[in-house]
Amino acid sequence: GQNKITIAAHQKVKINSYPVESDLSSSFAIAAFAALNGQARFQHFPFKSLQPDKVFLQILKRMGALVETTSEWAQVSQSKELLQAVHCNLNDCPDLFPVLATLCAFARGASQLDGAPHLIFKESNRIEKTAELLNAIGVKTQILPDGMRITPHHPLTTQVKPFEFDTDHDHRLAFAAALVASQGFPIQITNPQVVTKSFPEFWDIVRMNF
C-alpha cells in the first residue's frame, strides 16, 4: 500500500560514497564569530543546497561583514566598520534566530527579526530566552508575536554584573551565549555540553572552555 515499503531479502549490497552537506545553521554560528572576531572559511560550501539557512551569507553581507565566495568555498571576515542593523523574515530559517539576534546586539541601529512565530515551540522558547540573554548585557529588546526587535546602544560596555545563562537544553542558545562571551561579557553558561546535539566540536573550534 501507500504506507508500506517492502525490501526483498538476500540482495547484494553495493558500497557507494555519498557527499553529505554540513548543517548550515551550525555553520552560521561560526560565521557570526568571524563577523565579530576574525575570519572563517567554509570549504565545499553547498551553494545549491536546499537548506534555507544558506541565506546567512546574504544576511551577513547586508550587515556589512566581508563575504567572499568562489565555486569551492565561502569566507566571512570581520569588517573594519561596525555591523549594520538588519530586518529579516526568518519564516524559512528560524534556526538562525538566536545567533542572529545576538549578532544584531553588536550592530549599529535597531534590527528586527520576524516571521517565525514557531520559535516558541523549538527546544526552548527561543524568543524569550534570547531576549533574556540580550537584556543581561544591557540590550533593549521588544518581543514580538513572531520574533523580536533589538535596539542596542553603543558603545556596549562589558562592565555588567556577572550572570549565569541557562541554555534550557537548547544548542542554538549555547551558540548565542558563546557569541556574547566572545565579546568579553562575564557570562557563565549552564549546560554548555548541549552543543553535542548538533556540533560537538563547537567549543574547540571557537577556543572556549565551558
> Going by DSSP bridges, is the β-strand pair 147-151/111-114 parallel, antiparallel, or unpaired?
antiparallel
**Distance between CA 19 and CA 124 in Å, rounded?**
31
Residues serving a catalytic function are: 95
44 class by beta-carbon count within 10 Å (0-12 exposed, 13-18 middle, 19+ buried): exposed
Cell numbers that stand for 44 in this block: 565545499
Strands (E), the chain: 39-43, 66-69, 73-77, 87-89, 111-114, 140-144, 147-151, 163-166, 187-190
> Going by DSSP bridges, is the β-strand pair 73-77/39-43 parallel, antiparallel, or unpaired?
antiparallel
The torsion angles phi and psi of 105, rounded to 5 degrees, stand at: -65, -20
Q: Which residues contact 108 (CB under 8 A, 6 or more apart)?
A: 82, 83, 84, 85, 154
